[in-house]
Structure 1
Amino acid sequence: MVEFNSGLDIKRVRKQFNAAASSYDQHAVMQKEVGRRLDERFDYLKLEPKRILDLGCGTGQMLALMKRRYRNATLVGMDLAEAMLFQQQAGFLSRWFSRSSTLHLCADMHALPFVAGSFDVVVSNLALQWSISPDHVFSGVQHALARGGVFMFSTLGPDSLIELRQAWREVDPAPHVHPFVDMHDLGDALVRTGFVDPVMDVERLTLMYANLRDLLHDIKGVGAGNALINRRKGLLARSRFKRFEEAYEAFRTDQGLPLTYEVIYGHAWGAGPVQRRTKDAVTIPLEALKLHKKS
Structure 2
Amino acid sequence: MLALNLPEKHRIRQSFDQAALRYDHYADFQRQVATRLADWVPKSAGELALDIGTGTGFGSTLLVQQGWHPIGLDFSSAMLRQAKQRGLSHWRGVQADAEALPFQDESLSLIYSSLALQWCQDLSRPFAEAYRVLKPGGRFVCAVLLDGSLHELKTAWQQIDSHQHVNDFFTLNQVNFALAQKQIVQSQLICEPVVCRYATARALMQDLKGIGASQIASHARQRLTKGTLLQLEHAYQQYFSEDGALRATYQVGLIEVRK
TM beyond 0.5: yes
Matched, 1:69 2:66: yes
The number of equivalent residue pairs is 252
Residues 78-102 of structure 1: per-residue CA shift (max 9 Å, x gap)? 0111111101112xx32xx2xx221
Q: Is the 8 A contact 1:174 1:232 kept in 2?
A: no
Q: Please tell me the root mean square deviation across aligned C-alpha atoms, in Å.
A: 1.9
Q: How does 1:1-295 map to 2 (within 5 A)?
A: 9-42=8-41, 45=42, 50-70=47-67, 73-90=68-85, 93-94=86-87, 97=88, 100-233=89-222, 235-255=223-243, 256-270=245-259
CA contact 2:215–2:221 (8 Å) conserved in 1 = no
Paired-residue identity, %? 31
Q: In structure 1, what is the Cα distance between the partners aligned to 2:176 and 2:64? A: 28
Counterpart Cα distance in 1 of 2:43 and 2:204: 39
**Secondary structure, aligned partner of 1:154:** strand
After TM superposition, give the deviation of residue 242 of structure 1 in Å.
Answer: 2.7
1:36-81 CA-to-partner distances (Å, cap 9, x unmatched) read 1111123xx57667221000001111111111102xx432100111
CA contact (8 A) 1:110 1:137 kept: yes
Cα distance in 1 for residues equivalent to 2:55 and 2:187: 25
Q: CA deviation at 1:237?
A: 4.4
What is the distance in 2 between the residues matched to 1:69 and 1:47?
A: 6
Cα distance, 1:210–1:253 mapped onto 2, change above 3 Å:
same
For residues 48 and 63 of structure 1, what CA distance do their matches in structure 2 show? 15
Q: Flag the structure with more relative contact order, 1 or 2, with Cα contacts below 8 A and sequence separation at least 6.
A: 1
Post-superposition offset of 1:191: 2.5
Deviation, structure 1 residue 10? 2.0
Instruction: Summarize deviations over 1:154-206 as a string: whole Å, max 9, x none.
Output: 11111111111111122121111121112343133113213231101111111
The offset of 1:236, in angstroms, is: 3.5
Give the match for residue 279 of structure 1.
none
Are the counterparts in 2 of residues 209 and 215 from structure 1 also a CA contact under 8 Å?
A: yes
The change in CA–CA distance for 1:269 and 1:48 in structure 2 (over 3 A counts) is farther
Query: How does the TM-score come out when normalised to structure 2?
Result: 0.90
Unpaired runs of 5+ residues, structure 2, are: 1-6
What are the ranges of 5 or more consecutive residues in structure 1 without an aligned counterpart? 1-7, 271-295
Is the CA contact 2:187–2:257 (under 8 Å) kept in the aligned structure 1? yes
- In structure 2, do the counterparts of structure 1 residues 193 and 48 end up closer, same or farther at CA, with 3 Å as the change threshold? farther
What is the alpha-carbon distance in structure 1 between the residues aligned to residue 158 and residue 28 of structure 2? 26
Deviation (angstroms), 1:114: 1.5
Letter in 2 for 1:105: V
Look up the SS of the partner of 1:111 in the other structure.
Answer: coil
Q: Tell me the equivalent position of 1:274.
A: none
Larger Rg: 1
The one-letter amino acid paired with 2:257 is A
